[in-house]
Structure 1
C-alpha cells in the first residue's frame, strides 16, 4: 500500500488547487488508500463547523468528503478570516485566538508554524497518504520568510510539490517557469512537476509547449485536465463568484425562479447558495446594484465577516433602499439576518456601537466576544433541518413568526443557520412558498438530492485525475518524495 504525502501548489489563487486536491483524494480513496486532505493555512470566509465544534475552511470539508472522512480541525489548523483589508481573525485548531493586522500576525508565526506541523504529523501517522493544498502561489517571494503553507511546509516535511496552472487565464507556461525561477535552489528541489488545468481543446496542440517546458525546467508534466462545467461547489473565496450565474436545468413549471444575492464586500459562507443553484429551474446571480433586483423573485442577503461595514456598503450602493421598497420575498442568512433587524450593537467587529438596521424584521443583534459555533437541528415547513452556525452576534427576536432560530415577517425570513438549504425537503417547501408569493409558475423538482449531487461531482473530480493525469507517476512521487531535479540556469532563480 502506498504511503507518503504530496503538496498541490498553484501558480495563482483560484488555479484549481482545491479541486485537484479533492480529485486526488477521491481517486486514492477509490483505490482503497486511507487518504486525508490538509491545508496548513487557509485565508477564506467560507467555513464550516466540524462535529466536535471546530471551525475550518469549506474547501477542506469538501476534500474530506472526497476522501470519505468526517472533517476535523487537523485538516485546516490555521484559518484566517479577513474583516478588512488589513485585519484578520486568526482561527487556530478551530477556535478564534486573535484579531490581528499584518504586523501583529508576525508575532504569532512561531506558534502557528508549530501547530500546523503538529497537525500534519498527526494526520501522517493516522493515514496512508496526506494530500496537502498550498495557499496562493509558492512564488510569493515577499512572504517566503514566514511561509507556512507552501515551500515552508514542503521543506519542513520533505514534500514533493506539483504546481497547478489555469490555462484558461492565459500565460500558463510563463507562470510555470516563473514559479520555479523565482524560488531559491533549495525550494526548487521540491518542485517536481506541473499539471495544466481547465484546458479547452485538443491536448495535442499543447505538446510543443509542454515539451519545451520539460526541457527548460527539467521537470515532468503530470497531465492536462480538461475544462469541466459545474465543479464550483465549496469554492474557497469570492474569486469563484464571477461565473456563478447559473441555472441547472429546465424548470418543472413554465417559469424559472430568479434569485439575486447581494455580493457583499466581505461576503462569507456564500456556499449556502450552492443548493439553490443546484435546483433545476433556479437561476442564482450575484448583484451589486439596485437595477439588478428588478426581475428577482427572491433576494438573499448572505453571511458577512463585517456586518456593520457591509451594511454601510449596502446603503451606499442603493441596494438597501431597493430591498426595503421592493414587494417580494427576502431571505437573510447570518450577517444578512442581522442587517434585516431593527438595530445592531457592535463593540466587537466594527466597534461602531449602536447601528440602525434595515428594520424589516423584529430583531435586535448584539455582538459578543465569544464566537458561537454549533451544529443545530430544527424543523421548518414541517421538514427536518440540520445546519451549522458561526457568529458573534446574539439575536433577540420580539415578534413575527418563528423560522428556524430566527423569524419571519410577511415575505421576509431571517436565520443565523448556514447550510439549511442543503436539506432537500426544506429547500423544496421554501422555494414553493417563495414561488407562490412571487407569482411564479415554478415547481421545485421532487427528486433533487443535493448530497448525491455533491458526491457525483466529487466522483467527476476523481475521474478527471484517473483519466487525465499520470497516476503511476503520482503514486511514485507520493511514495518516494521529491525526485532529483535540476535548478534553473544561473539568473533564473532569485
Structure 2
C-alpha cells in the first residue's frame, strides 16, 4: 500500500538540517514510487529560482522538487521573504514581489497570507500522495507564535504531525530537543511525534543512553541519527552553511599541472551565491568566498555574484577596499565575472528612480569596468530564457529589478550581458550549470589568467552531481531513520495521548 498523508519537519534552530531532511525523505519516497512534493509555507532567503510557471521561490524548495522528481512551482513556497537590510524584506507571494515589510509590519499581513498558504497546500495534497513540509527557524520561537505561518500554527491549522530535527554538531542537542518541546503549549506538543538527530560523528552507541532518557522524559522516540556526510554542499538553504574556511565544496585535484583559483566576493546581502557551485564541481577549480582585498591579490578569477541590495553592497565594496582590489585585478588583465547584481556593479552608473531597492532617486557610480548603465524598475523581471552562447545551447533564469538602459560592449549571450575580453557579465543565473558552456568559460578564464597548465575536465556533469547528492540524502534516510515509524507518522499522524511537559506557558492560539 502506498503511504498517503503529510508531515512537518521542524528544527531546533535555523540550519539544523530541515531542508536536507525534507529533501532526503522526498527522494526516498520518490525512489519507492510514491508521488511526493515538498512544501515550505514561508521561507526567508535571498537564494531563489524562477519556476516553469513563471514565479520565484526559494532555491531549497527547487532542490527538494528535483529530489521529488517534479517540476518546481509557486505552490511549493507560496511566501518568500527576501531580506534587503537588517530590518526590511521584500515579500514574494505566490512567486511575485508584493511590497516591502519590516519585522513588525509583517505581522499585520500574516492572516491574509495564511489563506494563501492553505490554498497552496491543498492543491499539492490533491495532486500528490505525500507532502513533506518544512518549518522555518524554530517552533520554539513562542514570541512569534500568534502570527506563525510555517511552524506550529501551520501544523495546528492543518493537523500535521511534526518531527523536530536537531544538529548535534552544534552541541547541546538533547537539551535543544527537550526544550523545544517543553516551551510549547499542550495543543502544540500533541503534534510533536518524534525527533531526528542530524550530523552525528562517532559511534552511535555512545548516544543511546541519552536518547533513552529523552524518550523517558518526553514520551517521544528519536526516529534516527543521521551521520555527518562530507559530500553534501550543493543547494544549501544558507548558501554559505556548507563552506569550511571560506572554501566552497570539496575541491578535486586538477587534471593538469595547475589549479584555477576563483574568489567569489561575499557581499553582505549576497544573493544566489549558488551560481559558483557549478564551478566548484570541476576538478582543479578552487572556489573561495572572500571579504578582504588581500584574498583578491593572489587569485586568478574574481566573481561578483548576485545581491539583494546592489547600491548598499556597492558602497560596502568601496568602503572595504574590495572595489580597488577588483579594479586592480582587471587592470592587470586578469578575469572578472559579474552575475546579476555583480554585473550591474561593473558598469558606469546604477540608478534607482522609483526606490525598487534603494532610496528613490538614487544614482551611484559603478566600477566602470564595463560600458554599461543600469536603471532599476519597480517591476521585478523574472524569466527562464534559452539561447546560444559560444556555440552552446544554454538555459538560465533571471531575477532582477535592474535593467540595462545602455551598453556599448559586445553581448555575452547574443545581445544579453557584456564581453570585454577579461571582464564579463550577465543577468543570467545558472549559466555555469550548462556543462558545455562551463567548460568553454573555464578554458577562457584560465587562458586570460595565464594558467596554461590548467586542464578542463570533459566528463563533469553538474546535473549528475546534483542527482548524486539527493540520492546520498535518500540513502541517509533509508539506512539511518526508522522508516516504518516515519511512514506511520506520515499516514496516521502523531500518536494519541502523548505526554505533556509542563512549562507554565499560556495556551497558544490555534
**Smaller-chain TM-score range?**
over 0.9
Match of 1:265 in 2: 268
Match of 1:415 in 2: 426
1:64, distance to aligned residue in structure 2 (A): 0.5
Match of 2:402 in 1: 393
SS at match of 2:411: strand
Conserved? CA contact 2:184–2:503, under 8 Å: no
Q: Which moved more, 1:148-157 or 1:402-411?
A: 402-411
Match of 2:70 in 1: 69
Q: In 2, distance between residues paired with 1:239 and 1:280?
A: 20
Q: 1:468 aligns with which of 464, 480, 500?
A: 480
SS at match of 1:2: coil
Match of 2:381 in 1: 372
Please say if 1:424 is aligned against 2:432. Answer: no
Conserved? CA contact 2:182–2:502, under 8 Å: no
Conserved? CA contact 1:346–1:366, under 8 Å: yes
Match of 2:300 in 1: 297
1:316, distance to aligned residue in structure 2 (A): 0.8
1:125, distance to aligned residue in structure 2 (A): 1.1
Conserved? CA contact 1:298–1:434, under 8 Å: yes
Q: In 2, distance between residues paired with 1:201 and 1:377?
A: 47
Aligned-residue CA RMSD (Å): 1.2
Q: In 2, distance between residues paired with 1:384 and 1:491?
A: 60
Q: In 2, distance between residues paired with 1:493 and 1:162?
A: 22
Residues 67-216 of structure 1 mapped to structure 2, 5 A cutoff: 67-216=68-217
Conserved? CA contact 2:239–2:274, under 8 Å: no
Structure-2 change in CA distance of 1:212 and 1:485 (3 Å): farther
Q: 1:483 aligns with which of 466, 486, 495?
A: 495
Conserved? CA contact 1:258–1:297, under 8 Å: yes
In the alignment, structure 1 segments of 5+ residues that lack a partner are none
Q: In 2, distance between residues paired with 1:489 and 1:133?
A: 24
May I ask how many residue pairs the two structures share in their alignment? 494
Residues 302-317 of structure 1 mapped to structure 2, 5 A cutoff: 302-317=305-320
In the alignment, structure 2 segments of 5+ residues that lack a partner are none
Q: In 2, distance between residues paired with 1:241 and 1:356?
A: 34
Output one character per residue of 1:253-300: Cα deviation in whole Å (capped at 9) or x when no partner.
111111101110000001111101111111111110000112211100
Match of 1:277 in 2: 280
Q: In 1, distance between residues paired with 2:422 and 2:196?
A: 49
1:482, distance to aligned residue in structure 2 (A): 1.3
Conserved? CA contact 1:181–1:493, under 8 Å: no
Q: In 1, distance between residues paired with 2:380 and 2:215?
A: 49
Q: In 1, distance between residues paired with 2:93 and 2:181?
A: 31
Q: In 2, distance between residues paired with 1:324 and 1:102?
A: 37
Q: 2:467 aligns with which of 443, 447, 455?
A: 455
Structure-2 change in CA distance of 1:392 and 1:265 (3 Å): same
Output one character per residue of 1:320-344: Cα deviation in whole Å (capped at 9) or x when no partner.
0100012210000000000011001
1:439, distance to aligned residue in structure 2 (A): 1.2
Q: In 2, distance between residues paired with 1:217 and 1:239?
A: 34
1:485, distance to aligned residue in structure 2 (A): 4.8
Q: 2:321 aligns with which of 318, 327, 342?
A: 318
1:241, distance to aligned residue in structure 2 (A): 5.5
Please say if 1:350 is aligned against 2:358. Answer: yes
1:237, distance to aligned residue in structure 2 (A): 2.4
Q: In 1, distance between residues paired with 2:461 and 2:74?
A: 28
TM-score of the superposition, structure 1-length normalised? 0.98
Q: In 2, distance between residues paired with 1:301 and 1:191?
A: 43
Q: In 2, distance between residues paired with 1:303 and 1:241?
A: 19
